[in-house]
């Protein structure tokens, strides 16, 4: 019985620096994918207990594993299985029996795409952190509480049109008892406008 195999180490497969993990049926494959979170999965369609399509569907339905590249392994004349695998979210396919050169090229391409996706996710997380800092800065510009004045009921509600904005308001009592109100708007939206508040 041929096992499903996946790579959990580097982009240099096949080399001695890559760790290979094998599963001999679909259920075992799914358990190991969830436990190891590999860099790449080579998934045979024909497996006992749970076939490759069922494994692929669960991998792509799980937020923790859906971004793992999956290369479907199928018989060279089984076009329907290849199409179905791609439609279910497989990144690529390899016909059986496969050539080592083609195997290396497909794996290298899939791992490179994963590396770029990982970089994108890191950038988005960094951007979200920057936006959070911008929101905190903007909140610091706004009054923590509004003054109370006889005969007046003062309230404010602020919601940025985007993640952050350049709008500003304040209310304060002057020495002579006059109530001062300030409403300002920088002619822009987003991160660029927030520090100008």
For the segment 155-159, the average pLDDT, to the nearest whole number, is: 79
Q: Examine the pLDDT at 60 and tell me if it is beyond 90.
A: yes
Average pLDDT, the chain: 80
- What HEC string does the chain produce? CCCEEEECCCCCCCCCCCCEEEECCHHHHHHHHHHHCCCEEEEECCCCCCCHHHHHHHHHHCCCCCCCCEEEEEECCCHHHHHHHHHCCCCEEEEECCCHHHHHHHHHHHHHHHHHHHHHHHHHHHHHHHHHHHHHHHHHHCCCCCCCCCCCCCCCCCCCCCCCEEEEEEEEECCCCCEEEEEEEEEEECCCCHHHC
Q: Examine the pLDDT at 192 and tell me if it is beyond 70.
A: no
Q: Looking at per-residue confidence, does 170 or 188 come out higher?
A: 170
Confidence (pLDDT) at 17: 59
pLDDT band at 71 (very low <50, low <70, confident <90, very high): very high
Confidence (pLDDT) at 87: 93
Does the predicted model carry a pTM greater than 0.85? no
Domains of the chain with CATH codes? 4-125 (3.40.50.2300), 142-196 (no CATH)
Q: Examine the pLDDT at 132 and tell me if it is beyond 60.
A: yes
């Amino acid at each position: 019985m041929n096992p499903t195999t996946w790579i959990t180490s580097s982009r240099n497969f096949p080399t001695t620096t890559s760790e290979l993990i094998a599963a001999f049926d679909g259920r075992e494959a799914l358990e190991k994918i969830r436990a190891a979170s590999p860099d790449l999965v080579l998934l045979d369609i024909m497996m006992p207990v749970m076939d490759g399509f069922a494994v692929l569907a669960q991998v792509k339905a799980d937020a923790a594993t859906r971004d793992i590249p999956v290369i479907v392994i199928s018989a060279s004349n089984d076009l329907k299985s290849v199409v179905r695998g791609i439609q279910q979210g497989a990144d690529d396919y390899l016909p059986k029996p496969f050539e080592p050169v083609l195997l290396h090229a497909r794996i290298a391409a899939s791992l490179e795409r994963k590396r770029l996706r990982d970089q994108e996710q890191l950038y988005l997380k960094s951007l979200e952190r920057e936006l959070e800092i911008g929101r905190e800065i903007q909140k610091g510009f706004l009054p923590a509480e509004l003054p109370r004045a006889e005969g007046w009921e003062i309230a404010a509600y602020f919601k940025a049109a985007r993640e952050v904005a350049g709008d500003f308001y304040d209310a304060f009592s002057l020495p002579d008892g006059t109530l001062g109100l300030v409403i300002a708007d920088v002619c822009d939206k987003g991160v660029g406008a927030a520090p100008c508040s």
